[in-house]
Structure 1
Amino acid sequence: MPPHWPPSAASGRAPALSLFSSATGTQPPASWRVVGVPRGKIPLTRFDIIELDGRQVLRVEASRSYGNLVHALAPAVPDAGMRLRWRWRLDQWTAHARDLAADFRLAFGHESVSLPALEAVLVGADADNTGSYSLGYVEGVTLSP
């Protein structure tokens, strides 16, 4: 069985995600990698780092494309209360926080009594089926109690 985060409730530790603001240049930090459809049958969504509102943020541009920007983690079961937090912008910045265990139980609790290991966090955009275009910005993706 995979370990839990945090190792003890008192530690308050969570796996660290490389922040987009730590990027040097226009490419996301090396711990984030782009993943698309096998054999490249669909164009990749574009992920790059730009300055916006005085901060370095991830720009996500989908144009008849599909893709995910994935940050792998050492597999571990998140403890109750572990939250995924991020901010995104279409017209204005909006902050979000999701309780990983609570969301899993809400979606899959009728199918599984145990919480699976979290193995990665991803940001994605999909516009291939609709043949459309979208542009958004993401920052501050973190895991924390």
Structure 2
Amino acid sequence: MVVWLACASGVLGDTPLLAPVAGAVADAPPPAPWAVVLLPNQTKPQSRFVSAVVDGHAVLRISADNSYATLVHPLPHGSPQGHTLAWRWRVDQPLPKANLREKSGDDTAVKVCALFDEPLDKVPVGERLWLKAASTLAGADTPAATICYVWDAHLPAGTVLPSPFTRRVRYLVLHSEDVPLATWVSERRNLDADFLQLFGDEAKVVPPLVAVMLGADADNTHGHSVAYVSDLVLER
């Protein structure tokens, strides 16, 4: 499930579109405008996002322990098409009980997500009601289309499927058991092409990108996971 945080971030001149996701001080939270976002009225434990040093490089350590949280970086409203998202990541401790096809198993050791402001007239009527309810609970608009790149313990790379909670979130599995644990992998994704692949059944034009989000959750499978992300860059 995605819950949106209402805030703004400006981009001037050659300023990077994303602030660094990790700082130089170990165990420190990510620098602003990165912000942790929880479920409305959340009482369950929070997943943790802290800076760490691995192999001499500043990276973000993401850990979940029967917990939920996301880390969101907002973008200026109406950020145009033509984005590429690049990053490095690795999983040190996966979630063996995860099953993204079922609500009871909808957990990820790490996900990197792109949130789009898809026009509501492109969204099926029934799902507009879900968006309205989610926005009311969050106290802010919930983006209508979210792509989450995930590292799953079982599903083969290339698997595409909707979240079992809402089709407003769709998963693209990039890695599974094909990569050994604690192994860095570099990614580079054309967000326009991926949006049209995952949401092309609804919209033929890529809507504005409004945020980038990281996450890890283990609240459904009651597990524990550890992953790392670094060198997260959004290019136009």
Separation in structure 2 between the aligned mates of residue 130 and residue 21 of structure 1, nearest angstrom: 28
Q: What amino acid sits opposite 1:112 in the alignment?
A: A
Q: Choose from 58, 65, 69 the match for 1:63.
A: 65
Moved over 3 A (4+): 21-25
Listed as ranges, the matches of 1:10-49 within 5 Å are: 16-24=17-25, 26-49=28-51
| Percent identity between the two aligned chains | 42
Secondary structure (helix, strand or coil) at the match of 1:95 reads strand
Q: Any conservation in 1 of the 2:25–2:52 contact (CA below 8 Å)?
A: no
Separation in structure 2 between the aligned mates of residue 71 and residue 38 of structure 1, nearest angstrom: 18
The size of the alignment, in residue pairs, is 133
Listed as ranges, the matches of 1:81-120 within 5 Å are: 82-90=83-91, 91-120=182-211
Q: Any conservation in 2 of the 1:19–1:141 contact (CA below 8 Å)?
A: yes
Secondary structure (helix, strand or coil) at the match of 1:48 reads strand
Q: What amino acid sits opposite 1:127 in the alignment?
A: A
Q: What amino acid sits opposite 1:132 in the alignment?
A: G
How large is the RMSD of aligned CA atoms in angstroms? 2.0
Separation in structure 1 between the aligned mates of residue 205 and residue 184 of structure 2, nearest angstrom: 35
Larger deviation, residues 110-119 vs 127-136? 110-119
Unmatched tracts of structure 1, length 5 or more? 1-12
Separation in structure 2 between the aligned mates of residue 24 and residue 92 of structure 1, nearest angstrom: 23
Change in 2 beyond 3 A, CA 1:44/1:124: same
TM-score by length of 1: 0.83
Q: Any conservation in 1 of the 2:60–2:229 contact (CA below 8 Å)?
A: yes
Q: CA deviation at 1:23?
A: 4.9
Q: What amino acid sits opposite 1:114 in the alignment?
A: V
Q: Any conservation in 2 of the 1:78–1:117 contact (CA below 8 Å)?
A: yes
User: For 1:42-79, what per-residue CA distance to the aligned partner results, in whole angstroms no more than 9, with x for missing partners?
Assistant: 21101100111101110000000111111111023443
Q: CA deviation at 1:126?
A: 1.3
Q: CA deviation at 1:24?
A: 4.6
Unmatched tracts of structure 2, length 5 or more? 1-13, 92-181
Q: Any conservation in 1 of the 2:66–2:218 contact (CA below 8 Å)?
A: yes
Bigger proportion of residues as strand = 1
Secondary structure (helix, strand or coil) at the match of 1:20 reads coil
